[in-house]
Amino acid sequence: MINVAVTGASGRLGFVLSKALSGAEDLHVSSTIDLHGQAPLSAPHFQELTTEALVGVDVLLDVTVAASARKNAAFALEQGCHVVIGTSGLDASDRLSLGDLATRVGRECLIVPNFALGALLLERFAAQAAKYFESVEVIELHHPDKRDAPSGTATNTLQILAEARAEAGLMEPPDATEVESLAGSRGGVGPGGIHVHSVRLRGLVAHEEILFGSPGEQLSLRHDSFDRSSFIAGAFLAVRNVGKRTGLHVGLGDFLDS
Amino acid sequence: MINVAVTGASGRLGFVLSKALSGAEDLHVSSTIDLHGQAPLSAPHFQELTTEALVGVDVLLDVTVAASARKNAAFALEQGCHVVIGTSGLDASDRLSLGDLATRVGRECLIVPNFALGALLLERFAAQAAKYFESVEVIELHHPDKRDAPSGTATNTLQILAEARAEAGLMEPPDATEVESLAGSRGGVGPGGIHVHSVRLRGLVAHEEILFGSPGEQLSLRHDSFDRSSFIAGAFLAVRNVGKRTGLHVGLGDFLDS
Amino acid sequence: MINVAVTGASGRLGFVLSKALSGAEDLHVSSTIDLHGQAPLSAPHFQELTTEALVGVDVLLDVTVAASARKNAAFALEQGCHVVIGTSGLDASDRLSLGDLATRVGRECLIVPNFALGALLLERFAAQAAKYFESVEVIELHHPDKRDAPSGTATNTLQILAEARAEAGLMEPPDATEVESLAGSRGGVGPGGIHVHSVRLRGLVAHEEILFGSPGEQLSLRHDSFDRSSFIAGAFLAVRNVGKRTGLHVGLGDFLDS
Amino acid sequence: MINVAVTGASGRLGFVLSKALSGAEDLHVSSTIDLHGQAPLSAPHFQELTTEALVGVDVLLDVTVAASARKNAAFALEQGCHVVIGTSGLDASDRLSLGDLATRVGRECLIVPNFALGALLLERFAAQAAKYFESVEVIELHHPDKRDAPSGTATNTLQILAEARAEAGLMEPPDATEVESLAGSRGGVGPGGIHVHSVRLRGLVAHEEILFGSPGEQLSLRHDSFDRSSFIAGAFLAVRNVGKRTGLHVGLGDFLDS
């Protein structure tokens, strides 16, 4: 039985995941934590992440935002918990310091930028396809209340594509644009000169498309998250597997096929 | 019988259109003009647009680039021809001066940013749908040898959408973006605050997609030009109808359903 | 103030619409009716559609299935209500008999196969585009719990396309298929020889795509309903406008632009 | 230097591939064969595949149709050539007999249902993704002059998906359809109960889409062949690698990443 605490449990994603985890036979949600909102379960609910909230907890699942996640993760690691962070907003220095801490205390800190298995497969396929195409661009589409662009998942995809192309000795994708009559039309330019486009549209949830092009052909890989139920399977995978290693790890890729 | 001269006749589009027009019973391609390249037909071929090249010509079809089109059109109007310009690169001041000239000489100058009938319908539908949706964004995708972004067709689409939304009293589409971690990710911003994204990908030809969003639903309108044969029907429509009016006109919209 | 009764009010769609209608200032949900389930509102709730349930009711909104809708509509018309039926399953003989009844009692029976405004626009555009393309096929995609294929909306789209093509003198779309190695691969064949394909996929809600093709180009029109909130605006339009005419009418098309 | 003969060399695909192969430094197109049409190259051209046409030939590349390919391949194997067959129409008994023959004469017969690398990656990804989704359906779209449905590539995809799902212990995808009001709407049903839909549309070339669905999410993989230039890279891969093994082999998968 794995004892889990959830920070951000009263938010929309936190609510869905808390409910789902609490229904599993091999898991026990022993506390929920959220500054705002109500307790989503009958489990003890705290407004702050305190020592008390982590008594007996094996895994902290944090689904807040980057600013809180950073602090919550550090606190929980020091209390001896393994940590799963379900936000994509942490930067390289966060990763470094959390990784150092996790290694020192002999715990695992697992950052999962996207819990959807389809998103995970999308990145896996992106890595495999990258070297076979002259061109590649990324389009991500979200609801218009999203605050950052491009999305954390798309930023990660760009990195994966750039690395695979570099390894195969590919140069930057061809682009003869001389005049950009509306600045930004060609999108953001990520590592390896790969362009990314962020669409914000009412009615959408979270979507990403990778377009590969070569003479006469196109390969398109697209993932759509229509609602938060798409994150449940990945959250289970993370909570059940975190702690098998120590230090910082990113993504669920190592748990597929296992 | 309509006598037609074609400037840019040795280019890829010019070649396709010259061939097609020369096969019609009611049309006669009486001369072709191109600084570079070979004569596409057995008709007299000129390297420059001269008085001689326009003897007996009713309609000049220009499929060069903006810089030449501007000059060619003015020259032909002064020689008494009606003119069809098949490029989207002319700006407001070009339109003004060509319109003045056309009116003065009692001829028509018809600018056709896109000869594909599907592209024309796309814009017509965009105008009709605009007022029913909270959000709208435009994505245009082309081969990577294209020099301008966004495309002339997309620029035109933005204008159409902005006018329809303004008329219906809609505000700018919602957008909570605070952080654009890669500049340009959110695309170019056109009139009415409508965002546009230009993708450049080897293997593609000319494609445009308009995404409309409201709570719980999305309407997507997409046009794909796979090859230049898609421009033939529209070129016929233009050449056969130009001259029924005088002054400057834009697009083939008035000839649909007629 | 329009008094509304809702049959099927405890179902998923009925619940969403009852809630939404009850929040409008110019409407009053005076009763809800559902054989199964709980009362969605504080309004009087009935398990059967009785005379009592329709006392003082101006409009019956029926969101049950075809078998019940037929009976509920007839009953309500006879009680002097106008009726909005939000199901696509009624056939030609249903329409005939409900239309006769509505005319006789001087009331309106409005059948709305799809409340989403985007779906309505899709059909409008389909009618306009049909005559300009040699080929057209329809793909509709839904969740796998749907019992009928093709969807009522797609069936309606086929009819619209066939009529527009016939009017323009177009023959059946070209199709050289000689061998169908898996029976049904080419889809269902509707009026005018137009093919339709029904996809059933977990995770989807309700989606329809119309593909038009001509030499060198494609025009794609797609509507996605991601959740039931997309039906609210259309339900308001129906309830507020029903009763301005008598007899049977289909769709919300006449209320757009008004 | 590899000496290559091409059967079907005057067809549209044969012409493109013959031209491309003849431009490579490590290849020599020593003869072309086609019953109809003209010699595409200056190489000796034959109307029938005879012993003379295969003198000094290492590899026969056959891009005819199944009925001829079967005979051409057998003849060339007996003459000591390795064979690449670029059609998808051969059935299990053809494969068996060609495999037996190839093994007996110590040569390789390589069947490549689709030369596009993107199509190859599509199938590879399909195999990897299959076990993670409850639902999957295949849509293939082609020009309306195609004679068979579903396409050979789609038939192969169905097989790959069915095997991957069976291996993972998945049952047939969910489908509650009770009424198919237009027969065939739900498409063809392949191995493992996987549905396939064949669209035929003027303007299209060769396209395939695989849709995977799970609660709340969709993964879409799509390949577009816009013109025959997309087949060149794969044809080179096949001609350069055939003969490293003996007997019958299918597809280019083993040559990727090598």
Q: What is the CATH number of the domain that holds D73?
A: 3.40.50.720
Closest CA to A141 of A133, A151, A132, A131: A151
**Residues ≥6 apart with Cβ < 8 Å to B104:** none
pLDDT confidence of residue B256: 82
The answer to whether residues C123 and C104 belong to one domain is: no
**From the CA of D223, how many Å to the nearest CA of chain B?**
12
**Residues ≥6 apart with Cβ < 8 Å to C154:** C138, C140, C196, C198, C208
The answer to whether residues D20 and D99 belong to one domain is: yes
Facing D149 at nearest CB: one of C137, C149, C180: C180
Cα-based torsion angle of the residue sequence B185, B189, B193, B199 in order, rounded to the nearest 10 degrees: -60
* Residues A118, D212: C-beta atoms closer than 8 Å: yes
The C-alpha atoms of residue C104 and residue D181 are separated, in whole angstroms, by 32
For the whole model, what pTM was predicted? Answer: 0.90
What six digits make up the tokens of A171?
């140069």
Query: Most C CBs within 10 Å: which of A226, A231, A232, as the mutation test of the C interface?
Result: A226
Q: What three-state secondary structure class fits C220?
A: strand
* Residues B150, A196: C-beta atoms closer than 8 Å: no
What six digits make up the tokens of B255?
């000839």
The answer to whether residues C84 and C133 belong to one domain is: no
A258: pLDDT strictly greater than 70: no
The answer to whether residues D217 and D126 belong to one domain is: yes
The C-alpha atoms of residue C248 and residue C246 are separated, in whole angstroms, by 7
- Kindly provide the b/e burial profile for residues D154-193, where b requires at least 16 CB atoms within 10 angstroms of the residue's own CB: bbbbbebbbebbeeeebeebebebeeebbebbbbbbbebe
The C-alpha atoms of residue C61 and residue C18 are separated, in whole angstroms, by 9
**From the CA of C129, how many Å to the nearest CA of chain D?**
15
**From the CA of D195, how many Å to the nearest CA of chain C?**
8
Query: Most D CBs within 10 Å: which of C141, C145, C172, C202, as the mutation test of the D interface?
Result: C202
For C132, phi then psi, to 5°, come to: -90, 0
* Residues B214, C117: C-beta atoms closer than 8 Å: yes
Active site residue ranges of A: 142, 146
Identify the residue with better confidence: A255 or C160: C160
* Residues C199, D137: C-beta atoms closer than 8 Å: yes
Identify the residue with better confidence: C35 or D142: D142
Concatenated DSSP letters for B97-147?
HHHHHHHHHT-EEEE-S---HHHHHHHHHHHHHGGG-SEEEEEEEE-TT--
**From the CA of D205, how many Å to the nearest CA of chain C?**
9
**Chain B to chain D, count of Cβ pairs less than 8 Å apart?**
12
C258: pLDDT strictly greater than 50: no
DSSP state of A172: P
pLDDT confidence of residue D247: 97
**Which helix or strand (DSSP H or E) is residue B232 part of?**
helix B232-241
The C-alpha atoms of residue C104 and residue C107 are separated, in whole angstroms, by 8
All residues of chain A having their beta carbon less than 8 Å from the beta carbon of residue C226 are 203-205, 226
All residues of chain C having their beta carbon less than 8 Å from the beta carbon of residue D175 are 144, 200
pLDDT tens, per residue, chain B with 258 residues: 999 999 999 998 999 999 999 999 999 999 999 998 888 899 999 999 999 999 999 999 999 999 999 999 999 999 999 999 998 788 899 999 999 999 999 999 999 988 999 999 999 999 999 999 999 999 999 999 999 999 989 999 999 999 999 999 999 999 999 999 999 999 999 999 999 999 999 999 999 999 999 999 999 999 999 998 999 999 999 999 999 999 999 989 888 874
DSSP state of B61: E
D258: pLDDT strictly greater than 60: no
pLDDT confidence of residue B88: 77
D23 burial via Cβ count (<10 Å: 0-12, 13-18, 19+): exposed
Asked if C31 and C43 count as a contact pair (C-beta separation under 8 A), the reply is: yes
The answer to whether residues C200 and C129 belong to one domain is: yes
**Which helix or strand (DSSP H or E) is residue D206 part of?**
strand D206-214
Mean pLDDT of A77-92: 92
The answer to whether residues A218 and A243 belong to one domain is: no
pLDDT confidence of residue D128: 95
* Residues A216, D229: C-beta atoms closer than 8 Å: yes
Q: Each residue of A39-82: pLDDT tens digit?
A: 889 999 999 999 999 999 999 999 999 999 999 999 999 999 99
Q: Is C131 a catalytic residue?
A: no
The C-alpha atoms of residue A14 and residue C147 are separated, in whole angstroms, by 34
Nearest CA in chain A to D214: A230
Facing D197 at nearest CB: one of C147, C175, C185: C185
Asked if D64 and D39 count as a contact pair (C-beta separation under 8 A), the reply is: no
**From the CA of B133, how many Å to the nearest CA of chain C?**
9
Mean pLDDT of D138-163: 95
Q: What three-state secondary structure class fits D129?
A: helix
The C-alpha atoms of residue C189 and residue C212 are separated, in whole angstroms, by 16
D235: pLDDT strictly greater than 80: yes
The answer to whether residues C165 and C221 belong to one domain is: yes
Closest CA to A235 of A74, A106, A70, A60: A60
The answer to whether residues B178 and B242 belong to one domain is: no
All residues of chain B having their beta carbon less than 8 Å from the beta carbon of residue A176 are 144-147, 200
Query: Most C CBs within 10 Å: which of A142, A202, A207, A227, as the mutation test of the C interface?
Result: A227
Mean pLDDT of D147-159: 93
Domain count along chain D: 2
All residues of chain C having their beta carbon less than 8 Å from the beta carbon of residue A205 are 226
**Chain C to chain D, count of Cβ pairs less than 8 Å apart?**
194
A contact chains, 3+ CB pairs < 8 A? B, C, D
Q: Identify the domain containing residue D7 by its residue range.
A: 2-111+228-255
What six digits make up the tokens of B81?
């021809």
Mean pLDDT of A150-161: 94
What six digits make up the tokens of C44?
């009087």
Interfacial residues of D (vs A; Cβ cutoff 8 Å): 116-119, 121-122, 124-125, 128-129, 132-133, 212, 214-233, 256
All residues of chain B having their beta carbon less than 8 Å from the beta carbon of residue C211 are none
The answer to whether residues D220 and D208 belong to one domain is: yes
Query: Most C CBs within 10 Å: which of D91, D185, D197, D198, as the mutation test of the C interface?
Result: D185
The C-alpha atoms of residue A84 and residue A115 are separated, in whole angstroms, by 11
**Chain A to chain C, count of Cβ pairs less than 8 Å apart?**
12
* Residues D199, C197: C-beta atoms closer than 8 Å: yes
Mean pLDDT of C44-54: 96
A44 upstream amide cis, omega within 30 of 0 = no
Nearest CA in chain A to C203: A226
**From the CA of D93, how many Å to the nearest CA of chain B?**
37
**% of chain D exceeding 90 in pLDDT:** 88
C45, C82, C142, C197: which one is catalytic? C142
The answer to whether residues A13 and A48 belong to one domain is: yes
What six digits make up the tokens of C186?
């080419």
* Residues C215, B229: C-beta atoms closer than 8 Å: yes
Nearest CA in chain A to B212: A201
Q: Is B19 a catalytic residue?
A: no
D257: pLDDT strictly greater than 80: no
User: Considering just the CA atoms, what is the radius of gyration of chain B in Å?
Assistant: 20
The C-alpha atoms of residue C144 and residue D211 are separated, in whole angstroms, by 13
The answer to whether residues A249 and A169 belong to one domain is: no
**Residues ≥6 apart with Cβ < 8 Å to C255:** C237, C238, C241
All residues of chain B having their beta carbon less than 8 Å from the beta carbon of residue A175 are 144, 200
pLDDT confidence of residue C97: 97
pLDDT confidence of residue D103: 98
* Residues B205, D227: C-beta atoms closer than 8 Å: no
**What is the residue type of B135?**
S
Beta strands in B112-244 (DSSP E): 135-142, 148-149, 179-180, 188-189, 195-200, 206-214, 217-225
Nearest CA in chain B to D229: B203
The C-alpha atoms of residue B245 and residue B252 are separated, in whole angstroms, by 13
| Residue B17: half-sphere exposure toward Cβ, Cα within 13 Å | 33
pLDDT confidence of residue C205: 94
The answer to whether residues C128 and C215 belong to one domain is: yes
The C-alpha atoms of residue C158 and residue A64 are separated, in whole angstroms, by 48
C122 burial via Cβ count (<10 Å: 0-12, 13-18, 19+): buried
Q: What three-state secondary structure class fits A255?
A: helix
Facing B228 at nearest CB: one of C119, C128, C216: C216
D contact chains, 3+ CB pairs < 8 A? A, B, C
Interfacial residues of D (vs B; Cβ cutoff 8 Å): 203-205, 224, 226-227, 230
All residues of chain D having their beta carbon less than 8 Å from the beta carbon of residue C129 are none
CATH code of the domain containing D164: 3.30.360.10
pLDDT confidence of residue A52: 97
**Which helix or strand (DSSP H or E) is residue C13 part of?**
helix C12-22
For C111, phi then psi, to 5°, come to: -95, 125
**From the CA of C77, how many Å to the nearest CA of chain A?**
36
* Residues B201, A213: C-beta atoms closer than 8 Å: yes
The C-alpha atoms of residue B76 and residue D99 are separated, in whole angstroms, by 68
B45, B142, B197, B249: which one is catalytic? B142
**Residues ≥6 apart with Cβ < 8 Å to C81:** C5, C54, C57, C58, C59, C60, C107
Facing A211 at nearest CB: one of B150, B188, B199: B199
All residues of chain A having their beta carbon less than 8 Å from the beta carbon of residue B132 are none
Give the total residue count for chain A: 258
Of the listed ranges B81-95, C94-108, C166-180, the one predicted with least confidence: B81-95
Query: Most A CBs within 10 Å: which of D114, D207, D209, D217, as the mutation test of the A interface?
Result: D217
* Residues B147, A177: C-beta atoms closer than 8 Å: yes
